[in-house]
Amino acid sequence: GQREVWLWWLCLCSFPLRRARATAMPRKASRRSGPTDKGTCAQQQASAVAASAKACEAPCSGTWRPSGGLVCSMSPSSLNPFFQAMEKEISAAFGSGDPEDVLSRAFKLDVTRDDISTLQPQGWLNDKVINFYMSLLMERSKKEGYPAVYAFSTFFYSKLSSTSHKGVKKWTKGVDIFEHDIILVPIHLRVHWTLLVVDLREKTITYFDSLGQRGDQICKTVLKYLEEESKEKRNIELTASEWTLHSMGPEEIPQQDNGSDCGVFVCKFADFISRDKPIIFTSEHMPYFRRKMVWEIIHQQLL
């Protein structure tokens, strides 16, 4: 039921998921309820839910049901009110209303009910939802204990590939991307979302595609961009031979089993990578992630 769903993702960060292959980043060889006011009940509730999620980071025992749901040994009685409140909010966001109602406003983005609806089952995530989520990842990375993350807009790569560095050099005005640990590049390929990750610590460029397609040329295009950006902004030459470019194969990362989850995969690839965590989810978890992302976007807070 719904209670088990919420217990599942509250425990996700620590529970060793069965039937999910842990995949680390290769190493060397390897997008109307406006913003809530400070101190409101909604914000206090968000803080309490986040605290409950953090409490679940401790080792938690549990078992998988044949249907794929996790039954946690934690007693849900104290957390149940939060589950109910969250489920109510998510259902309301998916419910009837003006499609242009703004449900979340931050990062110079207004996320409307229509945008949020793309997170419903079988929905195709749009640019606004993905860009908003990437901004949440950047905000989280400012906290102690997280690698420094910079995420490009979903429009970046298409502009880069059609104009080269000269067409996007102003996109990083006032930003030194080389001061970060990880650079995220969400990519839209007509009807498919993929993710490219630059790890500046390891000098790797890695391509993640939940349909298993290779992105060797995309990796080369981004490496060329980094060379030109470094020379233009820092007057430092990058040595291409020191970099490892790799397209993750279908045996290395989880794959989608439908024609609509690619955007969610991109967001969750980015989420796990931006925490230096192994990728331990599967396509079975997409319905949970979709609902969780609704709450996170509305509250502008990652759990």
So which residues are the catalytic ones? Answer: 192, 209, 262
The answer to whether residues 244 and 30 touch, using CB atoms and an 8 Å cutoff, is: yes
CA 207 to chain centre: 15
Widest Cα–Cα separation across the chain: 59
Between CA 290 and CA 283 the distance in angstroms is 12
Buried b (16+ CB within 10 A) or exposed e, 20-45: eeebebeeeeebeeeebeeeeebeeb
Strands 182-188 and 193-199: antiparallel
Residues 6+ apart with CB under 8 A from 40: none
Q: Could you tell me the two tokens for 180?
A: 């970060």
Strands 62-64 and 70-72: antiparallel
Between CA 166 and CA 184 the distance in angstroms is 20
Between CA 301 and CA 296 the distance in angstroms is 5
- The residue count for the chain: 303
- Tell me the three state secondary structure of residue 179: helix
Q: Could you tell me the two tokens for 229?
A: 């950006």
Residues 6+ apart with CB under 8 A from 23: 248, 252, 253, 254, 278, 279, 280
**What are the beta bridge partners of residue 207?**
196, 247
**Amino acid occupying residue 271:** D
**Amino acid occupying residue 110:** D
